[in-house]
Amino acid sequence: MKRNLLVQTIITSLIFALPAYASVGVATIKGTKDASAVSGDVTITETDKGIEVEVKVAGVPTGKHGFHFHEVGNCGDEGNAAGGHFNPEKTKHGFLPQDGYQNAHAGDMGNIVVTPDGTGSLKQFLPGVYLTKEPSIGGRAVILHDKEDDFGQPTGNAGGRIGCGVIELKEAAADNANDPSKHVPEADIVPAEVPHMDVK
């Protein structure tokens, strides 16, 4: 009996010692030209339905700028080495959160609005796109364009590529509350002494 308790304690400790992970991707956006002031950060968190993308940019001219995942994780040649829009389904260009998979490229995030102080941000959920399974944006590029994505064909007429970054996979500690492996087995829950309260 004592031994069983010890074994159980060890097992429970092991369960609690296991780190909880969610897949996270990060990219650092840099200007594609030497003299560029463009900078930014992208954080991507994977869920079982898609990815949550959070972007912050600075040093960018005021206005709307097209923002997409591009096929190749290479920022060379002023961002042109990143190739075309990530388009695993060979669909037309659009706005993924609105148009869905059949009518938009998997990399179509629309525009980032940049305010007069040169900063802009974007927070968006992209359904059906992942980091750790296909279609995956891991290792691909994020491109910030010179002009607005007007959702015209074939790629939104967003012009040159002023910022670029490559998405790297990173494991990050998840919130314990969301991790089933962190749930205390029912048998280990000792009911707390709840003071009796009269219902009035």
Q: Determine if 70 is a binding residue for Zn ion (CB under 5 A).
A: no
Pick 60 or 143: Cβ nearer Cu ion:
143
The interface partner of residue 105, options being Zn ion, Cu ion, none and the CB cut-off 5 to 8 Å by kind, is: Zn ion
Q: Which residue has the tokens 């074939």?
A: 154
Beta bridge partners of 161: 145
The interface partner of residue 140, options being Zn ion, Cu ion, none and the CB cut-off 5 to 8 Å by kind, is: none
Name which of residues 82 to 101 contact Zn ion (CB under 5 A): 85, 93
Residue 15 to residue 61: CA distance in whole angstroms:
50
Pick 87 or 136: Cβ nearer Cu ion:
87
The interface partner of residue 65, options being Cu ion, Zn ion, none and the CB cut-off 5 to 8 Å by kind, is: none
Single out the residue of 86, 106, 87 nearest to residue 95, CA to CA. 106
Pick 138 or 156: Cβ nearer Cu ion:
156
Residue 58 to residue 114: CA distance in whole angstroms:
8
Residues that bind Cu ion (CB under 5 A): 68, 143
Contacts of 105 (CB under 8 A, 6+ apart): 68, 85, 86, 87, 89, 91, 92, 93, 94, 96
The 104-143 site mask, x for binding Zn ion (CB under 5 A), equals -x--x-----------------------------------
Structure tokens at 48: 């079982």
Pick 83 or 128: Cβ nearer Cu ion:
83
Pick 23 or 53: Cβ nearer Cu ion:
53
The CA–CA distances, whole Å, from 88 to 14, 23, 127 equal: 41, 21, 14
Residues that bind Zn ion in the complex, under the rule CB under 5 A: 85, 93, 105, 108
